[in-house]
Amino acid sequence: MAATSADTVITRSESGKTFRQIRSAWSDEWEQAEAPEPLKMPYQDVLVGDLLGAIDEHGVEELLHSGAGQGIGYATEVRPVAEVMAELVDEATAAIAGLG
């Protein structure tokens, strides 16, 4: 929740496709000068997919990473999806009613 857009990195190290994620030891290692270039999709996923699965399964904290959109800095609290959706519907309803 404390992450901002400055805490993210765009990398191809997970699947070969560009992917914005919260910076972690995983992304830091792939950014090292001596690190190889990530392979193109789907080969990068074939190369690291099992390893990433094991990292998740065993909770290897320093290598865990998660995707993050450009709006990561706007996330300031954890809220139930139902609450967020109800707010969106209410705002949309008010906006449509204001059209006349």
Please give the model's pTM, rounded to 2 decimal places: 0.67
Distance between CA atoms of residues 19 and 17, nearest Å:
6
Distance between CA atoms of residues 29 and 85, nearest Å:
38
Question: Which pLDDT value is given to residue 29?
Answer: 94
Runs of H (alpha helix) within 1-100 = 25-31, 43-58, 81-97
Condensed to tens digits (0 to 9), the pLDDT of residues 38-71 reads 999 999 999 999 999 999 999 999 998 888 877 7
Burial of 38 (0-12, 13-18, 19+ CB in 10 A): buried
